[in-house]
Amino acid sequence: MTAMSAALVLLSACGEGIDNRPFSEGALLGRVLRGDKTTGRVVVMGADPKDTDLDDEGRFHFDSLKAGPQELMVVANGAEALRVPAVVAGAQVTDLEDLDPVAAAFIVVNAANTQMVESCWMTIHQTDLRQIRDDGYYRFVAGPLAPGCYDATMDNQDAELWREHVCLQPGERRAFDVTW
Amino acid sequence: MTTARRISAAALAALLCAGGCAPASAEKGGLVRVRVSQAALDAAHAPRRFAVLVGIPEVRDPEWRPLRYAAKDAEDLGAALADPKRGRFDQVRVLTRPEQTTTQAVLQAVDALAAMASRPDDEALLYVSAHGTLARDDRGELRRYLVTQDARLKDPARTALSVDALKARFDALPSKRRVLVLATCHSGNGKSLLPPEVAEELAGIKTGFFTRPVESVSRASIVLSASDFGETAREDSELKNDIYTHFLVEGLSGAADRNLDGAVVATEAHDYARRRTFEYTQGRQRPSAEILEVGADPVVLAGALSGGGDAELFSYAARLEGARLTVDGIEKAELPGGAAVPPGRHRVQVEKGAQLLIAADVEVGRGARLSLDSLAERPPPSSGAIALGGGAFGFIDRQSREQLLPASAAGAVSLRLDRVLGDDFSLFADLMGAGGRAQLQLGGAPVDFGYRAVLGGGALARGWHLGPVSLFTGPRVAALWLGRSFNLALYQGSQEYLTLAPGWVGAASWRVFGRLELQLQISLMATYVRVDGAGSVLGHAGATAGAGWAF
């Protein structure tokens, strides 16, 4: 097989070859109804989430996203959000047009053990919501979140202290009392 | 079947003999064992040979002019057939007297012949030398008639012997080895006289008669005719015979044994008489024959088959009439007729004018008889074929079809040159082209693009030819050119790539009729493709089907 491959290389190789790299990324844009430039943003969910802000008219734009199916968490303002799937086409601009958010949800973690709160943080996985700190009342609030399911964790420097798979309804405020 | 009949008949004969010859026994019934040699059994059941020869020199109706040699024709041929050194026929009846040559008497003679030649392997020969004529039957169709003793010129349809009726009797003979020789003609000349109204009608026809030759309705028989349809059979005062009959008798002396196997078979005798008649009359009389042999046994008219001798190639098909038979580049005969060739492999060609009708390589054994008609059924071997068709080609693996180029419908043109390396190897060249728009599937997202692809290849393939079907397989190398063009918001451009692809090809062709050929070709190749800067070997396959013209 090696000899055959070598022979083929010698015999062929005319032209630069097939290049699919230009199609590995594409652009994505849309407009969020009732979007607020200050509080609104759009997050491309994933292990390495990316986010972008909204402009005055609630528009958002990603110049370069990996081609293929993606899921967006759209935060329109402090009270409305939306999760929406999107397919990013390689070397193309995908326009999601107008997105209509619904009532946002929140995850609240009440810390029963106040002594170690300062060294802990909460993370909503697949989003950029990390390092959510105590609000001064031994309470961690993650949101506004779009309705849907999330993995939420509480960590300190040494270990994961708490984990919960949470599915939220529009407008829901889900609270957990956690002791660690 | 034959063996069983022979054994049972032999046993019966032995029992009768034993019953008649043995001394009286006290016991009644039971089987008596007798010894009969195999030679005696073979002799008792050897094929028998019977001939009835009818010569009608003069008839009652004076309107028919007498024939000088019709009786002599029958007698001369009868003598040759009965001669122990020539024909060796077991029984030869020559009918020339008036009471023996009426319509009824001739038909009775045929019936008697049927009664004698009662075994399938018996040989039966019926010869008639007489006037011939044409007349319309009750349905108004022009028929051929033999002028028998009681035939009247004014009413041949009712008084003469219908050739069709004679043929029907002849075809009903139990013998499967039978020959009918008609030394007559029906053209109104020579040994023919037509009723005035028929003669007037035929005079307006320039191209001969329009009725079917009697020979064409023959089955399981050999019908030899002293003249072709519409030509004149002649008596000759120098030969003192009907010309054809004279040379037929001459051929039985051994001169007609062209394959030197010791026997003069019916086709050999006819070919000899035909050729000599044609020469003697300087082309004015061209005897014809329609032959449908039953089984492998030829009808022996003189001598005995030695089991050896040369092989024979022959044809009496009307469509090959006038064609030249060439064997190994040497012209051997003009058809209809035949030629003897030594046993072995020969290149046989039959040409008519500039048209090559048959070209075949044949293997013939000693004493074999090969009908050229069977070769004509084979399509002439082609030097190659060119075909147009369609098909598809693409990468074998799904990922490459999704990300490089989808499998594409393609138009195809192919060229095949046969016998480029010996008889068995053919050279293939083909070109397939495809183009259109499609979508790549990259990471689950579609990417629209236009494409063009050209696959051109050549192969050297071994061929196997099974009648009209030929199969080929062999190594192949192809060039695959891919072109992709994109007109996207973030990328506009084109990509081209050319790669060589060695592989293997399998093909089949089917000569449907004439020079029309259907083709199917499948190729598998390995292609080296550079994708995103990295090279890899990918499988590629193509399949085409098309119709072509063999040349």
Same domain, B270 and B365: no
Q: What is the pLDDT of residue A28?
A: 96
Question: Averaged over A151-170, what is the pLDDT?
Answer: 92
Subunit contact A92:B482, Cβ cutoff 8 A:
no
Same fold, A22-103 and A105-178: yes
- CATH, residue B172: 3.40.50.1460
Please state, in angstroms and rounded to a whole number, the distance separating the CA atoms of residues B389 and B411.
6
Q: What is the pLDDT of residue A115?
A: 66
Same domain, B250 and B340: no
- Comparing CB atoms, the residue among A8, A9, A67 nearest residue B445 is A67
Give the DSSP letter string of B180-191. Answer: EEEE---SSSSS
- Comparing CB atoms, the residue among B484, B490, B528 nearest residue A12 is B528
Q: Kindly state whether residue B211 falls inside one of the protein's structural domains.
A: yes
Q: What is the pLDDT of residue B415?
A: 94
Same domain, B303 and B172: yes
Residues of chain A neighbouring B476 (CB-CB closer than 8 A):
none
When the candidates are 2.70.170.10, 2.60.40.1120, 3.30.750.24, 3.30.930.10, the CATH number that belongs to A105-178 is 2.60.40.1120
Subunit contact A66:B443, Cβ cutoff 8 A:
yes
Higher pLDDT, A19 or B40: A19
| pLDDT tens-digit map of B470-492 | 999 999 999 999 899 999 999 99
Residues of chain B neighbouring A27 (CB-CB closer than 8 A):
489-490
Question: Averaged over B23-35, what is the pLDDT?
Answer: 58
Non-local (6+) Cβ contacts of B344 within 8 A are: B363, B364
Residue of B nearest to A2 (CA): B537
Sign of CA dihedral B317, B319, B322, B323: negative
Q: Kindly state whether residue B362 falls inside one of the protein's structural domains.
A: yes
| pLDDT tens-digit map of B106-122 | 999 999 999 988 887 78
Same domain, B364 and B448: no
Question: Averaged over B421-440, what is the pLDDT?
Answer: 90
Fold classification of A22-103 is Immunoglobulin-like (2.60.40)
The C-alpha of B544 sits at a distance from chain A's nearest C-alpha, in angstroms, of: 24
User: What is the pLDDT confidence band of residue A7, given thresholds at 50, 70 and 90?
Assistant: low
Please state, in angstroms and rounded to a whole number, the distance separating the CA atoms of residues B225 and B209.
16
Subunit contact B532:A88, Cβ cutoff 8 A:
no
Subunit contact B502:A88, Cβ cutoff 8 A:
no
The C-alpha of B396 sits at a distance from chain A's nearest C-alpha, in angstroms, of: 17
Cβ atoms < 10 Å from Cβ of B206:
5
Q: Kindly state whether residue B29 falls inside one of the protein's structural domains.
A: no
Q: What is the pLDDT of residue A98?
A: 96
- Domain C-terminal end among B277, B309, B341: B309
Same domain, B92 and B78: yes
DSSP state of B396: S
Same domain, B301 and B337: no
Q: Which amino acid does the sequence have at B486? A: F
User: What is the pLDDT confidence band of residue B176, given thresholds at 50, 70 and 90?
Assistant: confident
Residue of B nearest to A15 (CA): B497
Q: What is the pLDDT of residue B193?
A: 62
Same domain, B341 and B472: no
**Residue B271 confidence (pLDDT) above 90:** no
| pLDDT tens-digit map of B255-268 | 888 888 888 888 88
The token duo for B78 is: 């009868």
Q: Kindly state whether residue B4 falls inside one of the protein's structural domains.
A: no
**SS percent in chain A: helix, strand, coil, step 5:** 10, 55, 35
Q: Kindly state whether residue B101 falls inside one of the protein's structural domains.
A: yes
The token duo for B504 is: 């293997």
Subunit contact B486:A27, Cβ cutoff 8 A:
no
Q: What is the pLDDT of residue B208?
A: 35
Q: What is the pLDDT of residue B381?
A: 65
3-state secondary structure of B51: strand
Residues of chain B neighbouring A69 (CB-CB closer than 8 A):
444-445
Same domain, B293 and B350: no
Q: Kindly state whether residue B416 falls inside one of the protein's structural domains.
A: yes
Asked if residue B432 lies in contact with residue B544, where contact means CB atoms within 8 angstroms, the answer is yes
Same domain, B298 and B179: yes
Same domain, B246 and B391: no
Same domain, B327 and B371: yes
Residues of chain B neighbouring A88 (CB-CB closer than 8 A):
445
| pLDDT tens-digit map of B495-538 | 988 988 999 999 999 988 778 899 999 999 999 888 888 888 99
Identify residues of B whose CB sits under 8 angstroms from chain A CBs.
Answer: 403-404, 440, 442-447, 482, 484, 486, 488-491, 493, 495-500, 502, 526-533, 535, 537
Q: Kindly state whether residue B304 falls inside one of the protein's structural domains.
A: yes
**Residue B227 confidence (pLDDT) above 80:** no
Residue matched to tokens 């002019």:
B65
| pLDDT tens-digit map of B341-380 | 888 888 888 888 877 788 888 888 887 778 887 776 665 6
Q: What is the pLDDT of residue B259?
A: 80
- This prediction's pTM: 0.50
Q: What is the pLDDT of residue B169?
A: 85
Q: What is the pLDDT of residue B52?
A: 94
**Residue B61 confidence (pLDDT) above 50:** yes
Domain tally for chain B? 3
Q: What is the pLDDT of residue B232?
A: 57
Residues of chain A neighbouring B445 (CB-CB closer than 8 A):
26, 67-69, 87-90
Q: What is the percent of chain B with per-residue pLDDT over 70, rounded to a whole number?
A: 81
Prediction ipTM score:
0.79
**Residue B147 confidence (pLDDT) above 70:** yes
- Among A176-180, B173-177, B196-200, the minimum mean pLDDT is found in B196-200
Q: Kindly state whether residue B293 falls inside one of the protein's structural domains.
A: yes
Q: What is the pLDDT of residue B270?
A: 81
Higher pLDDT, B236 or A142: A142
Higher pLDDT, B226 or B427: B427
**Residue B191 confidence (pLDDT) above 70:** no
- Comparing CB atoms, the residue among B443, B488, B535 nearest residue A68 is B443
User: What is the pLDDT confidence band of residue B211, given thresholds at 50, 70 and 90?
Assistant: very low
Q: What is the mean pLDDT of chain B?
A: 80
Q: What is the pLDDT of residue A45?
A: 96
**Residue B10 confidence (pLDDT) above 70:** no
- Comparing CB atoms, the residue among A5, A67, A68 nearest residue B537 is A5
Q: What is the pLDDT of residue B216?
A: 32
**Residue B92 confidence (pLDDT) above 90:** yes
Sign of CA dihedral B279, B280, B282, B285: negative
| pLDDT tens-digit map of A87-107 | 999 999 999 999 999 999 999
Q: What is the pLDDT of residue A65?
A: 94
The C-alpha of A87 sits at a distance from chain B's nearest C-alpha, in angstroms, of: 6
Domain spans, chain A: 22-103, 105-178
Q: What is the pLDDT of residue B188?
A: 46
The C-alpha of B406 sits at a distance from chain A's nearest C-alpha, in angstroms, of: 14
**Residue B299 confidence (pLDDT) above 50:** yes
| pLDDT tens-digit map of A48-81 | 999 999 999 999 999 999 999 999 999 999 999 9
**Residue A173 confidence (pLDDT) above 50:** yes
Same domain, B370 and B415: no
Please state, in angstroms and rounded to a whole number, the distance separating the CA atoms of residues B39 and B33.
18
Please state, in angstroms and rounded to a whole number, the distance separating the CA atoms of residues B40 and B44.
6
Task: Give residue B203's domain range.
Answer: 49-309
- Comparing CB atoms, the residue among B445, B489, B526 nearest residue A8 is B526
The token duo for B311 is: 């092989």
User: What is the pLDDT confidence band of residue A178, given thresholds at 50, 70 and 90?
Assistant: confident
| pLDDT tens-digit map of A38-48 | 999 999 999 99
**Residue B293 confidence (pLDDT) above 60:** no
**Residue B192 confidence (pLDDT) above 70:** no
Asked if residue B455 lies in contact with residue B479, where contact means CB atoms within 8 angstroms, the answer is yes
- Comparing CB atoms, the residue among A20, A21, A27 nearest residue B490 is A27
3-state secondary structure of B213: coil
